């Protein structure tokens, strides 16, 4: 989350008053962090919400994300529900940007998850994937293989020689791995980092920021999650957190033999995706206020670690 476009209080109050049935504006504040959209906490006389102004995503692509959130919320997952305006549309326009208002969920993120947190995340992610099976819309992962190839071409001239060599080697490896893989696919979150999950005590109270969601291998989503939730300070994997996460996921949606074979490559693909996106933010930044830039070196090292030994996926019959 970030702020690139800052609407005036008057403009926001007018937008809410004439477009929604959520009461009058009481206050709003910027949400700091992230790199993609402009986000605000909005309080009205009838409730608390999150407002997002979309900076880079094409308007035609936005219904996929908004209807996915509504779909998952209807299935009982702790996902922000988009608020329909008086025209019964989720998507509006504010400050010349596509805009959406969603429910604000309670809780705080957990920066230092333990095994119990990881087990709950694994079970929740499997539930998200199972609920997503009945979601009828299809839209490719916006940070999938085609994006990674384009991003690499943009970045290569800016990278040190060692990093460029690592990038080219990994792209060759991933091209071979993708050609051989035949994996279960469906709707994925695509960015299930610790700061995108809210907790109330020991329970997950919110899964937020679905604007990197898409239709892709479910295992890619698992890999993104493991790389963040189970990483050690040097970029390795902590078996004490990896195992409960994967076992909890497998208990709800068992891994296939093809997924077990593809697991090492998928962990590397997930690491590559975030190395590339963070490197773009560093070398080719966009102008904006309150933008949090994350260190690409962290995911470069995670990629290098994933080229080494990796804990296997649970075998058939494994249960908690």
Selected residue with higher pLDDT from 36 and 141: 141
pLDDT tens-digit series, residues 211-259 = 999 999 999 999 999 999 999 999 999 999 999 999 999 999 999 999 9
Q: What is the pLDDT of residues 70-98, one digit of tens each?
A: 999 999 999 999 999 999 999 999 999 99
Q: What is the pLDDT at residue 237? A: 96
Q: Quick one: pLDDT at residue 242?
A: 97
- The pLDDT of residue 291 is 55
Distance of alpha carbon 8 from alpha carbon 12, whole angstroms: 6
**pLDDT score, position 265:** 96
pLDDT tier at 4, thresholds 50, 70, 90: confident
Write the pLDDT tens digit of every residue in 270-289. 999 999 999 998 999 876 54
Q: What are the DSSP calls for 136-154, one per residue?
A: ----B-TTSHHHHHHHHHH
Cα 238 → chain centroid: 21
Enter the tokens of residue 247. Answer: 């076992």
pLDDT digits (tens, 9 = 90+) for 286-303: 765 445 678 999 999 999
Copy the structure tokens of residue 115: 């095994």
Classify each residue of 209-218 as buried b or exposed e, where b means 16 or more C-beta atoms within 10 Å of its C-beta: bbbbbbbbbb
CA distance 210 to 192: 9
Report residue 34's pLDDT band, with 50, 70 and 90 as the boundaries.
Answer: low
Write down the residue that tokens 């005036």 correspond to: 8
Domains and CATH numbers, the chain: 9-103 (3.30.200.20), 115-306 (3.90.1200.10)
The two structure tokens encoding residue 310? 């990796």
**The residue count for the chain:** 320
Q: Are 166 and 306 in contact (CB under 8 A)?
A: no
Percent of residues in the chain assigned helix, strand, coil, to nearest 5: 45, 15, 35
Burial classification of residue 219, based on how many CB atoms lie within 10 Å of its CB (0-12 exposed, 13-18 middle, 19 or more buried): buried
Give the pLDDT of residue 29.
Answer: 95
Label residue 115 exposed, middle or buried (CB < 10 Å: 0-12, 13-18, 19+): middle
Cα 194 from Cα 196, distance rounded (Å):
5
Cα separation, 296 vs 213, in Å, equals: 21
| 301 in Cβ contact with 16 (< 8 Å) | no
pLDDT at 310 over 90: no
DSSP line for 188-250: E-S---GGGEEEETTEEEEE---TT-EEEEHHHHHHHHHHHHTB-TTS-B-HHHHHHHHHHHH
Judged against a pLDDT cut of 70, whether residue 117 lies above it is answered with yes
Please report the pLDDT score of residue 1 as a whole number.
Answer: 44
Asked whether the predicted pLDDT for residue 318 surpasses 80, the reply is: no
- Amino acid 319: pLDDT: 57
User: pTM for the full model?
Assistant: 0.93
Strand pairing of 92-94 and 47-53?
unpaired
Separation of alpha carbons 105 and 33, rounded Å: 17
Q: How many C-beta atoms lie closer than 10 Å to residue 320's C-beta?
A: 12
Look at residues 296, 292, 297, 268 and name the one whose alpha carbon lies nearest to residue 280: 296
Mean pLDDT of the residues in the chain: 93
pLDDT in tens, 130-188: 999 999 999 999 999 999 999 999 999 999 999 999 999 999 999 988 877 789 999 99
- State the pLDDT confidence band at 204, using cuts at 50, 70 and 90: very high
């Amino acid at each position: 989350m970030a702020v690139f476009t800052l609407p005036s209080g008057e403009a926001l109050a007018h937008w809410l008053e004439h477009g929604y049935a959520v009461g009058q504006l009481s206050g709003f504040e910027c949400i700091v962090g992230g790199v993609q959209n402009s986000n605000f906490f909005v309080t009205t006389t009838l409730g608390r919400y999150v407002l997002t102004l979309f900076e880079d995503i094409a308007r035609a692509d936005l219904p996929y994300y908004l209807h996915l959130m509504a779909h998952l919320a209807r299935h009982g997952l702790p996902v922000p529900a988009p608020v329909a305006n008086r025209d019964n549309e989720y998507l509006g326009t504010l400050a010349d940007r596509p805009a959406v208002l969603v429910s604000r969920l309670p809780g705080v993120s957990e920066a230092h998850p333990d095994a119990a947190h990881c087990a709950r995340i694994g079970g929740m992610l499997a539930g998200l994937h199972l609920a997503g099976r009945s979601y009828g819309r299809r839209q490719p992962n916006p940070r999938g293989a085609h994006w990674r190839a384009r991003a690499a071409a943009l970045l290569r001239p800016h990278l040190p020689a060692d990093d460029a060599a690592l990038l080219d080697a990994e792209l060759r490896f991933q091209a071979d791995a993708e050609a051989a893989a035949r994996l279960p696919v469906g709707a994925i979150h695509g960015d299930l980092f610790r700061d995108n999950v809210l907790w109330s005590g020991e329970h997950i109270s919110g899964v937020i920021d679905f604007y990197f969601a898409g239709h892709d291998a479910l295992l890619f989503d698992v890999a993104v999650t493991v790389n963040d939730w189970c990483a050690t300070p040097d970029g390795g994997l902590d078996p004490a957190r990896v195992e409960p996460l994967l076992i909890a996921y497998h208990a709800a949606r068992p891994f296939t033999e093809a997924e077990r074979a593809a697991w090492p490559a998928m962990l590397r693909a997930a690491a590559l995706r975030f190395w590339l996106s963070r490197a773009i933010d560093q070398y080719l930044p966009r102008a904006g206020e309150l933008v949090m830039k994350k260190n690409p070196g962290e995911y470069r090292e995670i990629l290098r670690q994933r080229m080494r030994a990796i804990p296997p996926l649970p075998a058939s019959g494994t249960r908690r």
